[in-house]
Each structure stands twice: as structure tokens, then as C-alpha cells.
Structure 1
């Protein structure tokens, strides 16, 4: 696991600029750093390394292929790289291997097969840049689900790219103008969805895509069009037309265990200490159970507990760990301990990011890093296996809409909106507002976007902004519930869940891996008929049955709590003064980014205790904290 940074085109003092940028993301790669440059071609690649596979100099990057044509800088892991090596050998492409790193395998695969085929053959998580010295062209690529970040754009006449914006922000000519549409996305979802970034001149490469930049595009300062080498949507559509059939439930459980065991075993490949996050929930418990079943000694597991009972799952995790026989580590935190992490949040996340479970995630990563360098997590299970309770609630609302004649939906939506806009705030107003959203939605995607959003009309909060089009605006042939899970897979999962975990873990040089996001597991899960995902009102049904083979039901069957903090209480208590200073009207007015009135209205209502507006306010607060933090970027490591 590493960090990458590079520039192609004219840039003053390029070597020093790339070196300084790498210093600012040293947490991603504390073990070594590398630099490669072709001055005549005006291309430079930088790299900071967290050594996981092949700890010797043979794994050093940027890495040149054995034929000298391709130069690769890679952030990530290729879990099937040993299989790829054997295939290259069988096909007669075997070079004189210098070591056993997956980076070497990948650069040779690109030389043998070309970029697109090499990407399609990989099982892994990665962001990469590759310079083709023969064609004088630059390639960027990102893994299928977006586990690893990759930003790109122009800094004056140079094309720049990197793992972190804070590393790029000090490059000469970097444009720091804020993108209002990104702020609108933040207000709507509490994250900034790809391809947008907080900076107008920078983009995120979409998951499952790659791009090629040649000299003509560089000269015109045009951005290349990303190309998909794998599509979550295409897989979902194909799966809907070809669902799996099993002779019995036991057969279905066996099939899931096979595909998940393969993914878990592949992701346990490491030359450094490895463990797993364990909340005691279905997803993480299943991952740990399969790790422990593989043998080879006790698995290190990690969980965090809180002194607020409603947010504490540590006792459940401890019970699961005891049953499985792991080497368990736990840390109990007070509100004071968690609050101490708040000032660090804006510096850890490259962009404003407002999922408040980022706070315990940061603390969990810090604890795990004391004992391991790699940790597996259970993220992805809700999206793949229909685990979110909101799917059932959303489906119920949508079913009500479908029963109404088309001619009645418009007038009823107008009436519901009028009731929804009335004062005082009440449960009736909230229900009426939801009904209006359902009735106004042209299709299920736009309905679901409103269903899971915070500020429903972000243009009323962000000055001069509108919500840009995205996957929620596309009508779909998928059935309602399949459409919801796909939308979360291409939006909430990569831009919230995976961002949260990657940035928190890499801030302490910890690599995280997500076995449920092995694309073969996803392809299997998409083909499962819905009754294997939700049965008798119980989500993740099939995954639960697999877990019950390893862990007694009474240890894991309980209501899902999530991984949150009592943010609403904190904003009325220990964070109140800090938060109000961030939301002070004169400050907002001077920045010229936000309309103060709706923000302060929610602040007052939250302080009164009538409503919990903490998720809405947290989005604004994280934007404010990020603005303060980013002012120092580029002024030293």
C-alpha cells in the first residue's frame, strides 16, 4: 500500500515539487520513497511505499518493466498476482523475475497483454499510473469499486495526478478554486461523489475505469475520456437476466462459502502482520470466521467500545472473538477520547467529508496499527446482500406510489409539499414531505436520491450551486430493490464507506482490505434472487446462514447499531462552542460559499432539542473545518 504522485508537462522545479508532495503523504508510505523522471519527455513519477509484499529493494517503485518500455507507480494490492505470474510464464512472457512483488507482476502483465486486458485479469484494489516510453503516453487506472483514491487534472500546463489532494496542492500552478457543485453534493449526501472533487480543476477517476493521455491531449489541456474495463451496472443487468438456481438452501450456503473463502484467502496474502476489524456484526464476524477457519494461527481482531450503551458493540465483538478463538484487542473510549479526535478529522480527509462514523474509524485504525500493518474489514455486505433497513422502508414508500393512478400523483404531490412546508415542524410534516418526494420522482433512482439525502435542496444552502447529474438520474431496467442496492454500490459505497476507511487507516499507515468487494463475490451476490437476501423480514439472510455454521445465532442476532457516535448530543454539549464558531454568520458571509439563514435555522432547532439536525450540520461543519485546514497545504510537509 502506497501513495502515488506525478506530473506530465512543463512545471518549474518538478523534482522538488514532487518530493515535497510525497512528504505530505508520507503516512501512506513510511517505508521508502521513489522518484523516476524523463526530463526530455517532461514526465515525473513519485512514490511513497508501505511495504506489504516483497519487503526488499526488488519491490521498490516506480518500477520499470524488464523490456524497459513501461514505468509503473502503484498504490494497492493485486491479490491474484501469483496466478498471473504462472499464466505469464505459460504464455512465454516470463521475464527474469527480480522479486515477488505484485507491482512487478502487474507491470509485466501490462507489457504482455496491454492495459485493458491486464486490468480485467486482476483481482485487487489499486490506483496506478503507467508511463509508456515507446508511445509517450500516460495511463491512469482505478480498481473496480474505488477502494483506492486517484485524483487528476491540470496545474497550468502540466497534467497532474495523485493519491491525495494535500500532496497535489503544493504543486506549482495548482488551482485551488472551490467547486460549488461539489459542495452541493456534500450537502445532499455528506460526501462528494466522483467524478467531482472539492477543487474545480481536479477530478476523481471513476471506479472500474482507466484513461490514456497522449501528447495531443496534453498540448490542448483536454481531459481524456475514461473507459470502463468493468461495470457494476452491466454486471447487475446481466445478473438480473440470469439468476442463480439452487436445489436447496444448503446448496446456496455452500456456494456462498466457496466464493467468499476464496476471496478471504486471497486477501490474507501478506509479508507483514495481518488482522481484522471485528464489530460483532454479521459482515465482520463472517470475515473473521473464514479467516480463522483457514488455519495458520490465531487471527488478530480489533474492536472499540464506548461508554454510551446505545453506541457500544464491544461486548458482542468480544463474545464472537472468544467463540472463534482469535487474539482479541479492544479499547473502551469515553466521549472525551472521541472528541479529542475531532480536530484531526479535516487533516485526514482530503476533501470535506461528513460521515460522523469517521471518528471511531480513525480511533479503531490507530489501535489496530499498534499490532498489525494490514486489517481486513467487513464493508460491502449491506450493499451486496440487501442489509440496510432503508431498503425495506424505501420499497414500502415506492409501493404506495405505484398504487396511485398517474393522473393523481401531481396534484397529491403539490398538496403534500404544501403540508410539508408548513410550520411547526412535526412528524406529520416529515411524512408529508416524504410523500411529496415519492410522488414527484420520475423514476426510482431520483426517488431514492431524495430518500437518502440530507439537505433536500442543496441549492438553498450553497451559493450559486446546483446538484450535478449522476447515477441517481438514470432510469433503470432493474427491479426497485435491485436498483437501490446498485445505486449504493456505485455511490454510497465508494464515495462514503471506502473513503472513510481508506483515509482513516492510511493516516496511520495501516492497509485495509475488503474481501466482500472481490468482484467475484459481487458477481455472485448480484445473481442471488432477493429471497436469499431478505427472508421473513431479515436482511442478509444467506450471509447469516453462512455465519451460523461458525458462530451460534445468539451471539450475532441482534438489531444493527452501526458504527456511530452521539453527535447530536455533542453538538448541544462539548462541541457546541466549536461548532457555533464555525457557523458564525459573519464567517459564512465572508466566505461567500453558504447561505447562512437555513443553516442557522437548523442550528437553533437542533439546540432547542426539537429536532436532531446533526447530520445536516456536520456536513457544513466539516466543510468549514476543511477550509481552515487546507489553507496550509503546500507550505511544507
Structure 2
């Protein structure tokens, strides 16, 4: 795991070494073990690399790396787990090769020379983002892995193409403009992250997962990104060619695929461990790791003093049963408060998934003992695990048969009923059904039911701010996958599968994987995600929904697989997300911090938000009248990020 940065200026440049050094210095956390640079001022290209040495920790893995024939220069972030198989293929085709070392970087370079760039990408199984300079044709190639585990930003500023692993590196170039994109800000308020391909800055984009782009020899403006692997096509193929075996055979196949995915991700020349929350996904990964290890796997978990958020005791029981070397850390509000000032620096653009806090803390805990950690991310999206899949489907199924006029009437009636009045009435209800936040839930329901298309319904279901452009001064909401029709998805397709597919395209790469990458890289820890091995993904896309959701149980294949290693009774409990008690903290130890960031004069001076709306939102949340803490957290994370600029 590493980081890289670079720039391309066809007009030539001065002080290239100093500029590149500043860009490299900002991402030292991604690669503290060594640094390297390569510049061809005549061609206008400069590449920098920071290395976290995982495979072949010797100088033979140093980057930027030049191909043996001198044609390609390669700077690369990630791991290609099947690179030894690729070496065997290369040797079978070309005969003995004089390898300089045993790094996957060198393997990829030989692949580019032998098979070409696109074919090498298609053969590679891993997580990666890279820049490849072709000295012969003076072309630049940028590429990103299939599921979007590794980040890659790019954009033209002042006649120079800037690119790299993190925005902070791009900002060091003298051509950087840094104009905040208010349209991207509106998207942030809807999703609590800035969805790709947008970034918070005008003119800067994220390369989509499973895509590459090419910059021609005469210009610095990149061409349109091109897919080398298309998840929409894989989903379509999966629907057309369903797994035909029995449910039990599906579990056997999942065990085979996931065991291999875990096994190849245990390849490292440095200490290795795993995050363990105690849920099905991480427990399955740890169980398969421990089965393939001759010594106890090091596992790490985070707990909370608030019982409704705490899973650490479950993780400890699983660790004891599997025999891992387990470490845990309980998080206090003081721990969270100490972490918050550094969040804008590590994330580079506004990001408001509050589970970034425990993810940072568990990454730091793990880094004390290991350099690589596996995680269970991706299981929910692949195997129908989120509660919203079942609950959202039930709501939409009933709404679909309700006349449009009746739905609109019900939505308007709910909107006209003040949330406070509903909550006041609920105080008189029996304790077993009393819910002090029912008013807010009914208002959310009003927005959800007032939709015509399934995609619009789902977009409303997963949205934070429903009309974010009303909150952002001068902001308009650009189109995203969630707001446009997808011709690759059939009208009669199952809506639950559609929701999983949309999450794989949006929420997974733009929220979950961003969170894991930034948190782990902030402490120089490499995180690997076995569930997102493309073979596992393609298998899940072909698996019938009746196997994923079986006998009323979500993630049925994963459950059955884990029960081969961990007793069923130890795992059967309600699902808990990796959440944090933001609502408690905002009304307690974080209140003064929030008051300062949301002060009316400050909001007015910054000039990004409708002040009255934000002040009202914070007042209702602070008093406990309404449970809008996630909406407030979005605003706070932008304000904190803005302060750090």
C-alpha cells in the first residue's frame, strides 16, 4: 500500500523537483518507508511515489519503477494478489525472465510490456490505482481497481493535469485553484459523502472504479474514462445465468471462493491481522484466516460505553472461540473529541459517515501490532444484509399498488402535521410503543412515499437532506446514478437486487471504501477486503435472491458458512451497524464545538448555507426536540473541513 502524485504540463515547467517534493511530502502517511520521484521535464511529466513496503520490502520494489525495456514508468498504490500466477503465465509465454525482485509492481510492468495495459488490468486480481507513463508515445494512463478500493483524483488546473492518491497532494502544485463546487456540496448534504465522479473542488474528478483513462501526446486533457470491467454487465450476466446448484452447494462454492480470496490476501512480508466487529462479515473473514494460519491471527475491535452501540463483547467471544490474539479498545466521548480535529486533514473533502471515528481508532489500535489488516466490508451489499433491503422492499411493494393520488395525499397530510405535535401525543402512548422520534420518522416516510419510480424511492430512502439545494446558497444538484434511469437494469427486475446493485455502485465505493482507506492510510496501515475479490462479487451477482434471503434470514450463505466455524447460538442476535452515539455526544461533550461551528455570524460569513435553516436544525437537535443529528453532523463536517482549508 502506497501513495502517489504527479503532474503533466506539455508546455514544460520550472522547479519541478521542488513542486513534486511538496506533493510527495503531504502523503507521507501513505508510504513512510521510502520515497521516489521520476521527472522528464522535456516531456512535461513528473511522478512521485511514497512506499509502504508490504511485498518485497527491499529496494527491488522501489518506485517509480521503469520497465526492463525502458518504455514504461510506473507509480502504483495497492496490491495485485495473483501476481505470482501472472509471473508464471509470463514465463510460460516468454521463457525465463530475470526478475529483479518479487514485487507485484515489477510483475505488472512486465504484463504491460507483454499483454498491453488493458489486458493486464483484466488479468489482475487486486486493489490498485496507478499512473503509467509511456515514454515511447508520450501518453499517460491512469487506472483504478474494479470495486474502487483505492482512490485516484485528477483534473486540469491552469493548463496542468494534476493527479494523485489524495487531494492534499494536488493542492501543493502552484496551478491549483481550489474553488469549492457548490453543486458537489449539495450532493454531500444528500449522501453524507461527495459521490463520484465529482469532488468538492471544481475541475477535479474521481476516476470511477474499474476504469482507465488516457492522456494523448498533444494535450493534457484526459479522454473519457473507459471500463475494463463493467459491474453492470456482470450483474446482467448474473441475472441471465443464475447459479443453478442447491443452497447448500452455494455455501460450498462461497467457502471455496472466499477462502481463496482470504488466502491470497494473507500474502505479506510484514505482520498481518484483521478487524473483528463480531458480526457475520468480519467473523467469517477471521474464521477463514485462522483456518489457514499456523499461529493465532491478531484481531482488533472497538467498543462503546453506550450499550446500544457496543459489539466489542460479541467480538471478544468470537475471538476466544476461534483462538485469535485479540485486542480491544473502548471509545469514550473524549476519544472522539480528540479525533475530530484531524478528520478533515485525513479525508481531504467533506465526509460525514460518523463511523469514520471508530474506524480511525481501530486502525490506530491495529497499527501498533500489524502493518496489514483484513476487513469484512462488502458482505451486506453482496448478500442482502442491510435492513433497508427488506424494509425498503416491503414499503415499496405496498406503495406500488396504492393509487398515485392517494400516496400524494398521504404525504401532504404527514408533512402538514408538526413533528413536535406527533411526539407530544406519543408521550401518552403505552411505554412498549412509545417512540419520541416518531414525528421525524413519519416526515421521512412522507418523502419516501411521494415518489413514482423505484429508483426515486430508494434515493429518498438513503438520503439525508431531501432538498439539499434549498440549504446551499447557489447550489444545484447534479445528476447521479441514483437520479437517472439505468438502461442495463430491466423494468421487471427484483427491487431488492436493484438496491444491492446501486449500493455496489455508489455507497460502497464512495462511503465505505473511502472510510476504510483514509482511516487505515492515516496511520500507515494497509487494509484488504476479501469480500470484494471480483470472483466473489461475480458469484454473488449470479446467486438467486432466494439464496441470499432465505427462511427470513439475510446473508443466508454467509451465515451458513460461518456456522461451520462458529456456533450458531453465538451469532444469532439483532444486526448492529458500526455506528457511534453522535446524538448523545452532540448534546453532551461535543455541544460547545458544534455551537461554535454553527454560530449564525460564522455561517453568514462563510456564505455557503441558508443560515436560518441551519440554525433551526441545530436548535431542534440540541434541545432533543427532534432526532436530526445525522443532518447536523453533515453540516458540522463541512464546517470543520472548511476551517482546515
TM range (shorter): over 0.9
The residue number in structure 2 matching 1:189 is 191
Q: 2:591 aligns with which of 531, 556, 576?
A: 576
Residue 618 (structure 2) aligns with: 603
The aligned residue for residue 226 of structure 2 is 227
Give the equivalent residue in structure 2 for 1:458.
468
CA distance in 1, matches of 2:405, 2:51: 57
Q: Is the 8 A contact 1:305 1:314 kept in 2?
A: yes
Corresponding position: 1:547 with 2:557? no
Aligned mate of 2:635, from 611, 617, 620 = 620
Give 1:240's aligned residue: 239
Q: CA deviation at 1:337?
A: 2.1
Could you report, residue by residue, the CA deviation over 1:446-486 in whole angstroms, capped at 9, with x for unpaired residues?
21111111100000111111221111122431320110000
Check conservation: 1:275, 1:299, Cα contact below 8 A: yes
Output the CA distance in 1 between the equivalents of 2:311 and 2:42.
58
* Residue 7 (structure 1) aligns with: 7
| Aligned-partner Cα distance in 2 for 1:448–1:424 | 23
Structure 1 match to 2:408: 413
Pick one of 366, 386, 389 that aligns with 1:388.
386
1:585 corresponds to 2:600: yes
Stretches of structure 2 lacking an aligned partner (at least 5 in a row): 423-436
> What is residue 47 of structure 2 aligned with on the other side?
45
Query: Structure 1 residue aligned with 2:86, among 84, 87, 91?
Result: 84
Q: Does 1:558 align with 2:553?
A: no
Question: d(CA) in 1 for partners of 2:380 and 2:332?
Answer: 28
Q: Does residue 165 of structure 2 align to residue 154 of structure 1?
A: no
5 Å-filtered alignment, 1:409-448, equals 409-410=404-405, 412-425=407-420, 426=422, 430=440, 433-434=443-444, 436-448=446-458
2:419 and 2:301 mapped to 1: Cα distance?
A: 42
The match for 2:121 among 114, 119, 122 is: 119
Q: Is the 8 A contact 2:331 2:358 kept in 1?
A: no
| 1:296 aligned onto 2:298 | no
Say whether the 8 Å CA contact 1:414–1:436 is kept in structure 2: no
**SS at structure 1 position matched to 2:243:** coil
Q: Distance in 1 between matches of 2:275 and 2:345?
A: 23
After the TM superposition, list the runs of 4 or more consecutive aligned residues in structure 1 that deviate by more than 6 angstroms.
none
* 1:56 shift after superposition: 0.7
For the aligned residue pairs, the C-alpha RMSD in angstroms reads 1.5
* SS of structure 2 residue aligned to 1:112: helix
Distance in 2 between residues matched to 1:297 and 1:419, nearest whole Å: 58
CA contact (8 A) 1:70 1:107 kept: yes
Note the C-alpha offset of 1:252.
1.7
| C-alpha deviation, 1:304, in angstroms | 1.4
What is the TM-score normalised by the length of structure 1? 0.95
Equivalent residues of 1:384, 1:526 under 8 A apart: yes
Question: How far off is 1:251 after superposition?
Answer: 1.5
Change beyond 3 A, Cα 1:560–1:393: same
* Other structure's SS at 2:327 match: strand
Determine if contact 1:417/1:432 at 8 Å carries over to the other structure. Answer: no
Q: Of 257, 260, 268, which residue of structure 1 is paired with 2:258?
A: 260
Report if aligned partners of 1:139, 1:212 keep a CA contact under 8 Å in 2: yes
Deviation at 1:432, TM superposition (A): 5.5
- When normalised by structure 2's length, the TM-score is 0.94
- Match of 2:589, SS? coil
Distance 1:44 1:277 in 2: 37
Give the distance between the partners of 2:416 and 2:355, measured in 1 at CA.
Answer: 31
Count of residues in Structure 1 that have an aligned counterpart in Structure 2: 623
2:478 aligns with 468
CA distance in structure 2 between the partners assigned to 1:250 and 1:333 by the alignment: 40
